[in-house]
Structures are given as C-alpha cells and as structure tokens.
Chains A and B, each alone.
Chain A
Amino acid sequence: MSSRSGALSSAATTIRILIPAGKATPTPPLGPALGQRGVKAIDFCKQFNDRTKKILPEVPIPTLIDVRSDRSFSFVIKNPPTTWFLKRAAGVEKGASKPGSEIVGKVTLKHVYEIAKIKQQQANMQHLSLRGIVKGVIATAKSAGIEVVN
C-alpha cells in the first residue's frame, strides 16, 4: 500500500500504509509520510506499537491514518492481508510471477476456512456471510498463484 501525497499541510488526509507490527518509525516509508502532514512520528509509533503488542512482530498490518487539519490523528488497524496468510499457509515466500499459468503453492479448504474466520473479525467485513468471505479468499489465492485443494 503506498501512502498518498497530501496537497496542502492543512488538508485532512488519509494515509494507507502497511506497517510491521510492533516496529514502527522506520524513516523511509513512515517518517516523511507523517512528517509532511505535521504529525510527530514518535507519537504515532508509540501508539501503534502499543496497539499491536499482542501481534507477532513483523507481521504486516494495514493501517489507515486519518490526519486532521489541527495535526491530530487517529488510526484504524486491520488484520494482515489475505495474501500474506495464504503465502504463509502454503509455505511460500512470494506469490507467482504469472498467476494463472503458474502455481506456487497449495492450500486446503480448511486453511481457507480458518483464514476466512479471521478475516470476518475485521470491521468492514462483519456484515458478510462466511461463505462469501471464503469465496473471496479463494479468488485471492487464484490471483496469487496458490492452488486451493479439497
């Protein structure tokens, strides 16, 4: 997820970024993105690391940071990306470079079911049926070149 560049420092902006859990404040991705909008990176990182202390370190966490015009911020944390779960379950480092023609790993339906259960806990997915989420996970696996097996 790339961070969007804010036009004016006074405009309210949203930053979408993947941050490894418990390890915020790397200068390259996060520091400038926050600094541009007048948010103190240290404050954000303290809060972020606090919220993610129950998660295994280095797990990529998609976050939405809302920065208001008075330089205050709030952020929402979601669970790790589906592709990350799938690659981990299939024991694969990277997805296929040519998904569709290449298969990099295999995952069973039971894996997919458990991943869907975790995904359902996310705030923006709670109204969906588990079956719908399972279908989504299978589609994500297809786009990553991971085969779903019975």
Chain B
Amino acid sequence: MWKLIFSKPFNNHLINTNKHNTYLLSCIIQSFSTCNALYAKKESPSSPSKKSTSPPNTIQATMSISAAPAGTVLQGINYLKDGTDPIALPDHEYPEWLWEILDEKKQNEWANDPTSRQFLRKIRRDKIRDANFDKDKNK
C-alpha cells in the first residue's frame, strides 16, 4: 500500500543527502519501499523485536537474495597494507535502494511521474539544450 506523502521534498528521504534540492513540491510519490520503510520504522516502537538486528518487514518482502551471503569475504577490495578485505553483512543491513538498483524497470519509473524530480530535471535540461542549439544557429 502506498501513500501520498505531503511534506517537503527529501527531508524524509532516508538516505539521500543531496544538497541541491530546492523544489517546493507539495506532494511526492516516493518509491514503494522507501515509503513503506519510513512508516515501518515509525510503527516499530510499539512492537519491539527481540533481536536488535531483525530486518524490517518491507525488506523481507521486497528483497532479493544476494549471491554473497553474510560472512563472505569480499575479495580484492582492500588495497591498504594494514587492511583486510571487507566481510559481507547480512542483506538487510545494506540500504534498501541497493537491492533495486539493478532493476531497470524500477530505475526508470520516474519517467511516468510528471511531478518527480528527475522528470522535471529532464525537461529543464532539454530546454537548456534547445536554447543552446538555437543560440549556436544564430551565430
């Protein structure tokens, strides 16, 4: 179930720390899992879980199983003398956007939403490109 979030853009986006947002949209339709995770985290205090690292329900539902299970040594990443290759953490300890990033459909969803930041950005950039093209022709 997704809900419309009436709020300032990206103040409630969990991971995005982009400093260049200046849009004042009154509602944002976020991707499903981010939206749900936000509400899941707000509701969790009422039902405390026994394990401190138990995964939120949404990640279990949307997560795909990683080829590198927790505890795998990620070889070849370390390049310092006194460092070691990092060890894979359990899947739910990685940010949620990571599991969707290979899904082409989800990554291109913004094209259907005319109020999304990427959509407006594309319009703006196309305008700039057209304006520059016109300027060149006049030369």
| A interface, CB within 8 angstroms of B | 53-56, 59, 79-80, 85, 88-91, 108-111, 113-115, 118, 127, 129-131, 134-135, 138, 148-150
Which B residues have a C-beta under 8 Å from some C-beta of A?
15-19, 64-68, 72, 74-82, 86, 88-89, 94-95, 97-99, 101-102
Contacting residue for B77 out of A85, A127, A138, A148, CB 8 A: A85
Given known contacts A89-B76, A127-B19, A113 and B98 CB-to-CB distance under 8 angstroms:
yes
* Pair count A-B, CB < 8 A: 82
How long is the Cα–Cα vector from A70 to B79 in the complex, in angstroms? Answer: 35
Q: How far is the CB of B85 from chain A (nearest CB, A)?
A: 9
Give the residue among A80, A113, A135, A148 with the most B Cβ atoms within 10 A.
Answer: A113
Q: Which of A56, A88, A127, A148 contacts B80 (CB 8 A)?
A: A56
Contact status A150-B79, CB under 8 Å: no
The residue on B at minimum CB distance from A116 is B98
CB-based nearest A residue for B86:
A114
CB pair B101–A114 under 8 Å, yes or no, is: no
Check A89 against B77 for contact (C-beta < 8 Å). Answer: yes
Asked if B66 and A54 sit within 8 Å, CB to CB, the answer is no
In the bound complex, residues from chain A placing their C-beta under 8 Å from that of B65 are: 150
Verify A54–B81 contact, CB threshold 8 A: yes
Determine the chain B residues whose CB is within 8 A of the CB of A55 once the complex forms.
79-81
Q: How far is the CB of A23 from chain B (nearest CB, A)?
A: 14
CB A91 to nearest CB in B, in angstroms, measures 7
